[in-house]
Structures are given as C-alpha cells and as structure tokens.
Amino acid sequence: MNLFEQVALAIQAMLRTLRLFPKPVLWVPWLVLGSVQLAIVALLWGFAHPAVSWFMAPLLTRVAGAEVLRYPNLMSAMPDLFSRVDLAIGTLLGSVMIGAATVMFAEQFRGGRPRAGVALREALRRGGSLILAQLPFNVAVVGLSTLLDGWLLRRGGGGLTGRLLEFGLIAGPVVIQSLFLYVAALVMIERRSALSALAALPRTWARGFWAGLALGFTPLVLLLPLHALSDRAALLVNRGDPELVGWLVTLEVVASLGVWFLLAGSATLVYLGAMANPDDGWAP
C-alpha cells in the first residue's frame, strides 16, 4: 500500500471508530484507566485533606520539596507531578487496557459482540507480554523527550534550532508511536509473545506506517491546546486562578481517554484490514 492508500485507510478507520463512541461497552477499558488517573489527580489536588495528608504530605515533600506543600505551589507543580505518575500508569495499566480495547474493537469490527469481562481477563493474562512489548516505545519516547528538552533548555527557545527542537518534541513521539502502533494487535490477535511481536513489527511498517503516522498526528491536534495551557500552570496561578490548573489536568485526562479510544479503535481496524493473516479470522 502506498502513502495515499494508507492515509485514506486511516481516515476511514477514524470515521468508523468515531461512530462507535456512543457504544458504552467499548469504553470499559478506558474507564478503568481513567478512574486510576482521576484518583491520582484527586490525591494531588486534595493532599491536605486529613484522610490522605498523612501519606501525601511526606510523599510530596520527598518528590518535590517542602515548598510544594504551601498553597498554591502544589497547583503550579500539579501538571508535572501528575505526568510523572501517569507515565508509570500508562506503561503498566495503560498497556494492559490497550490490549483489552484491541480485543474488543476487533470483535466489534468483525461483526461480533464485544464482552468487556472476557477482554479484560484475556489482557490481564497476557499483561506481561503487553507491557514488555510496549516498553521500548515508552522508553524511547521518554528518552527522546528528555534529550530534546535538555537541548532546548541549553540552547533556548529562539531561532531556527529552537523551533526545530520544539517541533521534534511534538513530532518525535508520534513517529515512534507509528513504529509500535500495531504491537498490541500482534500480542492479542496473533497471540504472540513480547519478543515475537517486536520481531514482527517490521512486517507492519510496509502496509501501516503512514497510516499510523496519520492516526498519530490527527488526535494530537486535539490535545495540543490543553498541553499548552497545562505548561502555563504557573502563569494561571500567578493570575489568581490556581484551581483552574486542577480542572485543566482533569480535562486533559478525559480528553486523552477519548483520543486513546479513537487511536486504539482506528489502529485495530487498520491492522485487520491491511496486515492481519487470514488464519486470524479476518479477510480484508
């Protein structure tokens, strides 16, 4: 498949997945993930409440220093603190939920009836493979972001170099994601181990890399405004709107769940239509 055919397939996959948004059962994996993420937001936001302050205050002091306990310093630091925890949540629980969602979307697109309990149990059984198979992606994204952030900090944000580094911070993770986008399908649909799934990834690039790139950049546009606002948390606090930071982080979590729903469903359909073996029960 050439570039234009893959982009057209990606667009069709997104449109079909968007039509599934009102289907409650397909949201179950994302509700599990979102519940944990929102619980973390609540703990950070309400760290001073007597019910949780006995462990949150020492933990925050160890992680971010004693100054963070003074209102409204915590609100300024909340986006960064949440992103640190969310990285671990995404690497572990997120990888498993992507696997469960892949099974459910595959069943839906095949004309079957997706069952959340069955999909979640299967993803948990294969959780080790899912986490290990997606670990190189998570490590690569963190490594690239850290490297580019360091260069940007040393060189400053001005000039052509600064703009290129800023673009790299946005485009780099999407390119890496495109390389690993179908690994969950290889583990859950083709029943591969982590190493086998990683070894099989190059097979997906010829027929799905450009589609993956289109899938990655399109939802990213939806999140960029929220990311930009979260990056200006200190400014919001200084303007006298510290609680707005908490609501922005909450909104970002909710929006991210919608983006992951769209991305997982679209990636599954692209995989089934362009890469799946006939023995897997799908005839493109």
pLDDT 10s digits, 86-134: 999 999 999 999 999 999 999 999 999 999 999 999 999 999 999 999 9
Q: What token pair was written down for 23? A: 């289907």
3 state SS for 43-85: HHHCCCCHHHHHHHHHHHHHHHCHHHHCCCHHHHHHHHHHHHH
Predicted confidence at residue 250, as pLDDT, reads: 92
Average pLDDT rounded to a whole number, residues 33-41? 97
CB 229 within 8 A of CB 281: no
Q: Which CA distances in Å does 67 have to 57, 64, 73, 77?
A: 11, 8, 7, 10
109-112, Cβ contacts within 8 angstroms, sequence gap of 24 or more: 109/16, 109/268, 109/269, 109/272, 110/272, 110/281, 110/282
Q: What token pair was written down for 28? A: 């179950």
Predicted confidence at residue 283, as pLDDT, reads: 38
Distance of CA 188 to the CA centre of its chain: 18
pTM: 0.89
Write down the mean pLDDT value for the chain. 87
Q: Which residue has the tokens 């019910």?
A: 51
* CA atoms of 135 and 89, how far apart (whole Å): 12
CB 101 within 8 A of CB 265: yes
In one letter, which amino acid is 90?
G
Predicted confidence at residue 56, as pLDDT, reads: 94
Average pLDDT rounded to a whole number, residues 71-94? 90
Does position 278 have pLDDT exceeding 70, yes or no?
Answer: no
Q: Of 13, 215, 10, which is closest to residue 2 (Cα–Cα)?
A: 10
Q: Of 142, 20, 153, 162, which is closest to residue 90 (Cα–Cα)?
A: 142
245-260 per-position pLDDT tens digit: 888 899 989 999 999 9
CB 162 within 8 A of CB 216: no
Average pLDDT rounded to a whole number, residues 195-223? 89
CB 130 within 8 A of CB 95: yes
CB 262 within 8 A of CB 14: yes
